[in-house]
Amino acid sequence: MQRSELRGRLERIDEVSWRIPRTARNDMRVDGIVYADEALIESLGDDPALDQVANVATLPGIRGASLAMPDIHWGYGFCIGGVAATDPTQGGVISPGGVGYDINCGVRLLRTTLDERDLVGPLERLIEALLAHVPTGVGRSGPYHFDRRELLALMSEGVPFLRRRGLADDEDVAHCESEGCLADARPDLVSGVALERGADQCGTVGSGNHFVEVQVVDRVVDEEAAAAFGLAPGQVCVLIHSGSRGLGYQVCDDALRALRGVPARHGIELPDRQLACAPLASSEGQAYLGAMRAAANYAFCNRQLITQQVREVFERVFERPWQRLGLELVYDVAHNIAKLESHRVDGEEKMLCVHRKGATRAFPAGHAEVPAAYRAVGQPVMVPGDMGRASWVLVGGPRSMERSFGSSCHGAGRALSRKAALKAAKGRDVRAELAAHGVIARASSRRGLDEEQPDAYKDVDRVVEVVHRAGLSTRVARLRPLGVIKG
């Protein structure tokens, strides 16, 4: 890959943000804004992600700017870390590339009443039990099977469907983004192939960067927000990262095929065919939006069913009901999604379609969509790092609405491609290296650990520092890994 010519056109706004001026290319409708410090910009090297930021700035109806978070790296259509809001009243479009193949890939954090000292003896047994009990890896099926009628209901209702079946409680629903259900989902528009792929995968972790990680609260920065989230130093937590599995992948694949000729029919010229899109007001745009929402609801349910299995493992290992172990949901956020949200643009309140591709919603204190228990401090934002260093809990920042449509980073962001990570791991034992640092790592394959080694990721502390200083989301607590299972 060649170094982007746009590197030379970047204008520094402040210490943690940069502008690609709309004059950099004739087809850009708005500026591109990248949140990063100088070292993170330099670390992009030959990554073409900046070109993708500029490409997104050409989409019809885009408002504000084409945005990228500090975990920016190349993706399909949009860069990972990309955010774009389009206005339906101005011909605004919806693009599957702005959501991603793994629709509603996201993370959820569970707290416990356990202390790190409680895991001194049982930790390895706990991690082995999680690997045995929670399905991980490519194509794995889980213990929950749904017939067509049940699957359609699950995709329509989201986590409240599971609550009716005794697989979630009221707090699980209340502490999910959008209460675990996107309204106006259209499971009837999901293909039979997608339904078949999803029939037995709800409640499975999958492969790649997905995981279940046992962590300890290493440090608290914001005591008020930490108290509201029920977090304290030394406390054991569990972070879950997964999405819509094969069902969501198929929904995206089906949509990209269906939209292949749509931009031309609507007179839309695109700099990259991976930005295939349709006006939100069109039948094609509404069809993708409805199917995407159905897949998103499936993903919320997937993480909830993984939670149920994690609770069962903790009950077995510690011989107490999960309720007595305090294994409660702090929050669940999506980071591959498009949602209709109200935002102020040019002094006017507008309903916009906000694409977040590898970016997390980060609404501030007082926002009506923040759960009542957290409204005084703001929405929890979980930022996984890597399995050797740390993850962070943040809270929606005071400038998120004005600067990023209420968005923040979603993780550390890859520093090495999977191919490069495998090459770097050759001749090494990543599992042993992690064990030497006090982290018990288990995976369904050695390749999974090699691809996800700590060196494959940017320094999450640096990434978090950028969004903190930019006011997009602010630091609450740092979480240190103790053990992890991966695909």
Strand runs (DSSP E) across 16-150, as ranges? 17-20, 31-35, 62-73, 80-86, 93-94, 106-115
**309 vs 133: CA distance, rounded Å:** 7
Contact by Cβ (8 Å): 259, 96: yes
- The count of other CB atoms within 10 Å of the CB of residue 428 is 11
- Tokens at 305, concatenated: 């069913």
Is 266 considered catalytic here? no
Pick the catalytic residue: 343, 410, 437, 468? 410
Contact partners, residue 46, CB within 8 Å, separation at least 6:
1, 2, 3, 4
Give residue 72's identity as a one-letter amino acid code. Answer: I
Contact by Cβ (8 Å): 328, 230: yes
Cα-based distances in Å from 220 to 344, 392, 466, 474: 33, 10, 18, 12
**379 vs 69: CA distance, rounded Å:** 18
- Tokens at 333, concatenated: 């956020």
3-class state of residue 206 by DSSP:
coil
Pick from 338, 377, 378: which is nearest to 355 by CA? 338
Pick from 285, 289, 305, 286: which is nearest to 158 by CA? 305
**116 vs 134: CA distance, rounded Å:** 22
What values do phi and psi take at 409, rounded to 5? -70, 160
**111 vs 359: CA distance, rounded Å:** 23
Would you name the residues annotated as active-site residues? Answer: 410
